């Protein structure tokens, strides 16, 4: 049994991590920290974990965390970068679910997060934790930057097209929709049931923080800049994310269905739907799956992809990365079917 810890366990990615890790056959959760709630039983804040997680929240004590094989950071931006260097120095491997190590360029990071980066030297070392793209690097990484939910759902959807140079890079339109849990567990008016319920709107215009992250990886895949138009929307539901992506095909003679099926044939967590189908978010709730469908309208290719923003979009992918880093079966603890209805 490997020992794992969570720094910042009171948010939605934290409780999702605890749900997944408590069912994982090869790891033992030994520490969950929360500065504001140290001493409170985890199951008092989350009654769903009564009888499942028998820990109290603790202060983020480096001594205790140093005993872990892997530590997850489920913290807002700017927190992980303060503690990660010490933990790495003590031989702990780290998976950061926040954005501190996702951008390779410190200046870009500072511009978007309005903060100086405290350990820019780690940006090069950190591996972007999208296994479908960087699996081999993840296996040996000390520090994995777990991708954002929008980037995960977008990159998996366009990767097959960009890798083969089949779409124009002059304009990629990503119309994205997220359940409200993506906004976190902080008390705020706009995510109250009475505000976000029975409501639909775009947000984050002109610029969402996932924009530079998506752009960076699009460039990696395409080997050139991709002009991204990205509009996220808030959906009146708890979990789930969908992206509808529009791009211009540069060649008309490609069998898109076959392309996608081949690209993802050996990926357990990417499911290419049959031609003509459309994915719905409910079919992936609570799972690490990404389901994708590809359609065409004239010269425009339309790719539809869904994930659970808290699972494949955050904590599930983090567990997938942990499995890779520990040399375990990649799917361990991630095989439950979606909760339907």
Q: Does 338 bind a copy of itself (CB under 8 A)?
A: yes
Closer of 90 and 251 to a copy of itself (Cβ): 251
List the structure tokens of 211: 């924009």
Q: Is 283 in the site for a copy of itself (CB under 8 A)?
A: yes
- Backbone CA torsion sign across 17, 22, 25, 30: positive
198 binds a copy of itself (CB under 8 A): yes
Stretch 210-269 residues interacting with a copy of itself (CB under 8 A): 227, 229, 231, 233, 235-240, 242, 244, 246, 248
Among 195, 261, 267, 329, binds a copy of itself (CB under 8 A): 195
Nearer to a copy of itself, 47 or 91 (CB): 47
Q: Is residue 88 within the footprint of a copy of itself (CB under 8 A)?
A: no
HSE-CB for 299 with a 13 A CA cutoff: 6
Q: How far is the CB of 50 from a copy of itself (least distance, A)?
A: 6
Q: Is 38 in the site for a copy of itself (CB under 8 A)?
A: no
Is 27 a residue that touches a copy of itself (CB under 8 A)? no
- Pick the stretch among 46-54, 86-94, 139-147, 249-257 that binds a copy of itself (CB under 8 A): 46-54
* Least gap, CB of 68 to a copy of itself (angstroms): 21
Q: Does 35 bind a copy of itself (CB under 8 A)?
A: no
Query: Which of 149, 153, 194, 290 is flagged as catalytic?
Result: 149
Q: Please confirm, yes or no, whether 149 is among the known catalytic residues.
A: yes
Cα separation, 48 vs 44, in Å, equals 9
In three-state secondary structure terms, 211 is helix
List of residues 6+ apart from 256 with CB closer than 8 A: 294, 296, 301
Binding of residue 76 to a copy of itself (CB under 8 A): no
Judged by beta carbon, residue 113 or residue 269, the one nearer a copy of itself is 269
Residues whose CB falls within 8 Å of the CB of residue 102, separated by 6 or more in sequence, listed in order = 126, 128, 145, 147, 148, 151, 213, 216
Q: Angle, to 10 degrees, between the axis of helix 149-163 and the axis of helix 131-140?
A: 110
The stretch among 68-76, 126-134, 149-157, 176-184 that binds a copy of itself (CB under 8 A) is 176-184
Chosen residue from 295, 326, 329, 332 binding a copy of itself by CB under 8 A? 295
Count of beta carbons in the 10 Å neighbourhood of residue 230: 22
The span from the CA of 294 to the CA of 277, in Å, is 9
- Nearer Cβ to a copy of itself, position 95 or 285? 285
Give CA–CA dist 217/134, Å, rounded.
11
How many Å apart are CA 240 and CA 178, to the nearest integer? Answer: 6
d(C-alpha 53, C-alpha 4), whole Å: 13
Of the pair 139, 233, the CB lying nearest a copy of itself is at 233
313 part of the interface to a copy of itself, by CB under 8 A: no
The residues annotated with a catalytic role in the active site are 149
């Amino acid at each position: 049994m490997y020992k794992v810890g969570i720094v910042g366990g009171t948010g939605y990615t934290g409780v999702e991590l605890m749900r997944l890790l408590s069912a994982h056959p090869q790891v033992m959760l030994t520490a969950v920290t929360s500065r504001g709630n140290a001493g409170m039983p985890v199951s008092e804040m989350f009654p769903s974990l009564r009888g499942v997680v028998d820990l109290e929240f603790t202060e983020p004590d480096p001594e205790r965390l140093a005993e872990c094989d892997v530590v997850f950071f489920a913290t807002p931006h700017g927190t992980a970068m303060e503690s990660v260097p010490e933990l790495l120095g003590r031989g702990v491997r780290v998976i950061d679910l926040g954005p501190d190590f996702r951008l390779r360029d410190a200046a870009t990071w500072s511009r978007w997060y309005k903060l100086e980066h405290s350990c820019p030297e780690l940006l090069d070392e950190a591996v972007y934790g999208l296994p479908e793209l960087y699996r081999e690097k993840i296996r040996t990484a000390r520090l994995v930057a777990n991708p954002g939910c929008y980037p995960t759902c977008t990159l998996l959807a366009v990767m097959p097209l960009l890798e083969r140079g089949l779409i124009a890079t002059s304009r990629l339109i990503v119309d994205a929709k997220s359940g409200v849990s993506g906004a976190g567990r902080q008390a705020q008016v706009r995510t109250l049931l009475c505000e976000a319920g029975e409501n639909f709107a775009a947000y984050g215009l002109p610029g969402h923080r996932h924009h530079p992250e998506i752009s960076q990886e699009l460039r990696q895949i395409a080997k050139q800049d991709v002009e991204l138009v990205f509009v996220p929307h808030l959906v009146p539901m708890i979990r789930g994310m969908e992206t509808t992506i529009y791009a211009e095909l540069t060649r008309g003679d490609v069998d898109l269905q076959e392309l996608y099926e081949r690209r993802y044939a050996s990926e357990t967590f990417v499911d290419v739907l049959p031609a003509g189908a459309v994915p719905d978010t409910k079919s992936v709730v609570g799972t690490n799956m990404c389901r994708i469908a590809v359609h065409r309208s004239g010269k425009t290719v339309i790719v539809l992809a869904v994930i659970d923003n808290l699972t494949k979009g955050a904590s599930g992918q983090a567990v997938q990365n942990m499995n890779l880093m520990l040399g375990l079966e990649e799917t361990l603890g991630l095989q439950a079917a979606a909760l339907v209805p």
